[in-house]
Structure 1
Amino acid sequence: MSAAEPDVARGVLFDLDGTLVDTIGLIVASFQHAVMAVTGEAVDEATARSWIGRPLLPVLLERSPTHGEEMDRVYREWNRANTERLIRPYAGIAELLADLAADGVPMGIVTSKRREIAQYALDSVGLGSAIALLGTLEDTSEHKPDPAPLLLGAKRLGVEPRDCTYVGDATVDVLAARAAGMRSIAVSWGAGTTADLEATTPDLMVGSVGELAAYLLAR
């Protein structure tokens, strides 16, 4: 943990991909498949990882304004077909969510994923009933690093933004939390590199689920 730890907030909002559920390999492979299938171009892992955390279609339209929508379709089709094969749980996350619930901590998920596929990902690792989806792609017109999704999540949680912590694995998560007036916790087991995350100066950086649990449950 960082030397200067922030006060523990009353409500906790989580990112999904790379934070609660290990979808990194699935997402990278989905990007690589979609771009190759439609344009014949290869995408390296570092580039694909850098796209994680943002809405899918704008990323692919940036890659190719001409073929972005077709890549979006191919990505979604391949991703759904391979989710159960490639998705993985993170050890300790189910227990952390159960402990937070037992302590009466308000919590939920704010993600850039579509609601249906986000729920499918949670169900695939047995977390479907453990935590609510409070904000998904369909819920706001602006997306991370814009604060709008996080502010909506806090509203639905019934907690003031200043009393919330947002936990995520990407630089856009830290930036969105700061813009929303929330505390930020960056986790190092997801898509973002430690150097990139540290450069955004989160309130706290953790390297394991156990470290995250020790902080969030210190109430």
Structure 2
Amino acid sequence: MMVKALLFDFDGTLLDTNELIIQTFMHVLEEKFPGQYSPKDCIKFIGPSLRQSFTEIAPDMVDELVASYRKWNIEHHDELVTQYDGVVSTLQQLHAQGIRLAIVSTKRVDMIERGLKVLGVGHLFEHIIGFDSVQHVKPHPEPILLALEKLQVAKEDVIMIGDNSHDIEAGHNAGVKTAGVAWTFKGEDYLKQFSPTYMLDNMTDLLTIVKG
């Protein structure tokens, strides 16, 4: 197999935003629904888009809750995010080898760019597909198909990498190979049930995989 391009989810895959996401959800939910949610309850909101999560919680308050979430999240972003082991150096090596890189996320493009700035790897990515780039977010295939179109690469030459069921299912739906990350907050066994093509124990595993 010849790998020409890698598509990465962002939160929970390249940047550890789990603490930020959980604390932001807790801030918003505690304000509106005091005592009804615990940090453990918020784990299921990691992965889906904000609108999907808040529609499940309170369909009549979605816009208000999303606005509240974004405000607190932006204010605390840089202090609460952390790097995963091996991510930056691996991305640099992949890029140096001529592997083309793009991001396919359910997050807004401006917030992905902010996270990339924290990591210092924004220049390595050719395209960023975010929540505001598409009509349908993952697991719908549209975001991946848009990335393929922009990169002008064939499905068989691409791997979609992520920490959530949405990433793997979107890859299956788009007809590309997939890789789950063992550092997913929901646990490796959770991700294995969606049958990713590969399971990464460390980001450096990609250096072997792309060689075929």
Counterparts of 1:68-83 in structure 2 under 5 Å? 68-83=62-77
Counterparts of 1:24-103 in structure 2 under 5 Å? 24-103=18-97
Following the alignment from structure 1 to structure 2, what is the Cα–Cα distance between the partners of residues 120 and 10? 26
CA change 1:199–1:95 in 2 (3 A) is same
- For residues 105-161 of structure 1, what are the alpha-carbon distances to aligned partners after superposition, in whole Å with 9 as ceiling and x for unaligned? 111111111111111111122222232443111111111111110110111111112
Q: Which amino acid aligns with 1:52?
A: I
Following the alignment from structure 2 to structure 1, what is the Cα–Cα distance between the partners of residues 122 and 197? 29
Following the alignment from structure 2 to structure 1, what is the Cα–Cα distance between the partners of residues 2 and 163? 19
Partner of 1:113: 107
Partner of 1:154: 148
- For residues 186-216 of structure 1, what are the alpha-carbon distances to aligned partners after superposition, in whole Å with 9 as ceiling and x for unaligned? 0021333212211111111122223333323
Percent identical among aligned pairs is 27
CA change 1:154–1:78 in 2 (3 A) is same
Aligned length: 212
| Cα shift at 1:41 | 4.2
- Contact conserved, 2:7 with 2:158, CA < 8 A, in 1? yes
Following the alignment from structure 1 to structure 2, what is the Cα–Cα distance between the partners of residues 104 and 156? 17
Q: Which amino acid aligns with 2:54?
A: L
TM-score, structure 1 as length reference: 0.90
Of 180, 193, 198 in structure 1, the residue corresponding to residue 174 of structure 2 is 180
Following the alignment from structure 1 to structure 2, what is the Cα–Cα distance between the partners of residues 95 and 31? 31
Following the alignment from structure 1 to structure 2, what is the Cα–Cα distance between the partners of residues 47 and 132? 36
Following the alignment from structure 2 to structure 1, what is the Cα–Cα distance between the partners of residues 73 and 64? 14
CA change 1:159–1:68 in 2 (3 A) is same
Q: Secondary structure at the match of 1:172?
A: helix
Following the alignment from structure 2 to structure 1, what is the Cα–Cα distance between the partners of residues 40 and 88? 28
List gaps (5 residues or longer) in structure 2: none
Report the aligned-residue RMSD.
1.6
TM-score, structure 2 as length reference: 0.93
List gaps (5 residues or longer) in structure 1: 1-6
| Cα shift at 1:45 | 3.4
Following the alignment from structure 1 to structure 2, what is the Cα–Cα distance between the partners of residues 109 and 135? 6
